[in-house]
Amino acid sequence: MTIDFLVAALMTIITASTPLVFAAVGEIVAEKSGVLNLGVEGMMIVGAIGAFATGIVTGDPVLAVLAGAASGALMAFIFGCLTLWLLSNQVATGLALTIFGIGLSALVGHQFVGVTFAGLPKLDIPGITDLPFIGPLLFGHDALVYLSVVSVVGVAWFLRRTRTGLALRAVGENHDAAHSIGYPVIMIRLMAVLFGGVMAGLGGACLSLAYTPLWIENMTAGRGWIALALVVFASWRPWRAFFGAYLFGGITIIQLHAQGLGVAIPSQILSMLPYIATIVVLVLISRDDVRMRFNAPACLGRSFHATG
């Protein structure tokens, strides 16, 4: 019984952490290019309703996931147009994108409140999935869990081992120098922002299709902000963001189990734990200002003005 409980808890932690992995890794790529997109929460919530609505209407989980990714990309494209071409303030635009996304998702999702989705199919390998403990932990998840791990590996390899990744990092460190040697700064940043939108959309799709396969208004519940904190926590490194996402996902699930076990702490305080942990982490990181500035892309949040 104890083993079964542990397996169930660990599987729930993995499912709860996957949306954070998607959102944080996507934002790392965007910020590595020098773009600060604070609209992750808005992209996630629009991705969640886009995926859920498509899943309910079509009954096809693959189309639902693709719709979630496309919804996040559309929101990111709006942000990119405003900040990269019209040169609006990135911080203000990101905040506006989040507010817009929350309102849009509530409007679109009104007719889907109370409707449930069948969920995403799990990977099931006969004879292996049934192995005690290891079987369900490694082979008992849906495709998005495995895609999140692949995305971390792929992004880490892309940023460190490819010429395109080097160009993206160069744009984030010194966009004027990158432009002077011929790199298309605006296009590189737009592609990075769109990738971040796709990943945030996938994170939202994971929430509405797998974690809680139903639609609830504002169901992201601040996960986009936690993902932004994870980027700083991870020093803009994908693998650190991956483990950080599982840390925060674990805190979320532990507080739920603590409430279920009747721990003598008010449920409101337990529900605050993931957000308190986020604040504590940011405070600790901000104390080392020199190291933070050293790890952050030098042109992060700065608009690029082409000089010819």
Q: Is 264 exposed, middle or buried (0-12, 13-18, 19+ CB in 10 A)?
A: exposed
Residue type, 98: T
Ramachandran category for residue 64: left, alpha or beta (phi over 0 → left; psi -120 to 50 → alpha): alpha
pLDDT at 267: 65
What are the C-alpha distances in Å from 39 to residues 26, 75, 77, 200, 242? 12, 9, 12, 10, 20
Under a CB-based contact definition with an 8 Å cutoff, are residues 20 and 230 in contact? yes
Cα–Cα distance measured from residue 181 to residue 210, given in angstroms and rounded to the nearest whole number:
45
pLDDT at 236: 93
pLDDT in tens, 132-167: 777 778 888 899 999 999 999 999 999 999 999 999
Is the pLDDT at 262 greater than 80? The verdict is no
Is the pLDDT at 100 greater than 70? The verdict is yes
Give the range among 11-25, 31-45, 222-236, 245-259 with minimum mean pLDDT.
Answer: 245-259
pLDDT at 66: 97
pLDDT at 132: 74
Provide φ and ψ at 230, rounded to 5°. Answer: -65, -35
Give the range among 175-179, 231-235, 261-265 with minimum mean pLDDT.
Answer: 261-265
The residue among 262 and 186 whose pLDDT is bigger is 186
Under a CB-based contact definition with an 8 Å cutoff, are residues 54 and 64 in contact? yes
Is the pLDDT at 57 greater than 70? The verdict is yes
DSSP helix/strand/coil, 304: coil
Q: Which of 64, 2, 58 lies closest to 206 in space, CA to CA? A: 64
DSSP state of 208: I
Residue type, 245: A
User: Which residue reads 């990119």 in tokens?
Assistant: 80
Give the range among 98-112, 142-156, 277-291 with minimum mean pLDDT.
Answer: 277-291
Cα–Cα distance measured from residue 122 to residue 152, given in angstroms and rounded to the nearest whole number:
21
Residue extents of the structural domains in the chain: 2-295
What percent of the chain clears pLDDT 70, i.e. is strictly above it?
91
DSSP state of 212: S
pLDDT in tens, 203-242: 999 999 998 888 999 899 889 999 999 998 888 999 999 9
- pTM for the structure as a whole: 0.92
Mean pLDDT, the chain, integer: 89
Residues 21-36 have a mean pLDDT of 97
Question: CATH assignment of 2-295?
Answer: 1.10.3470
Provide φ and ψ at 79, rounded to 5°. Answer: -60, -45
Q: Which of 85, 273, 97 lies closest to 197 in space, CA to CA? A: 97
272: its two tokens: 């605050």
pLDDT at 281: 74
What are the C-alpha distances in Å from 107 to residues 49, 113, 196, 304? 10, 11, 24, 35
Local confidence band at 1 (pLDDT 50, 70, 90 cut-offs)? very low
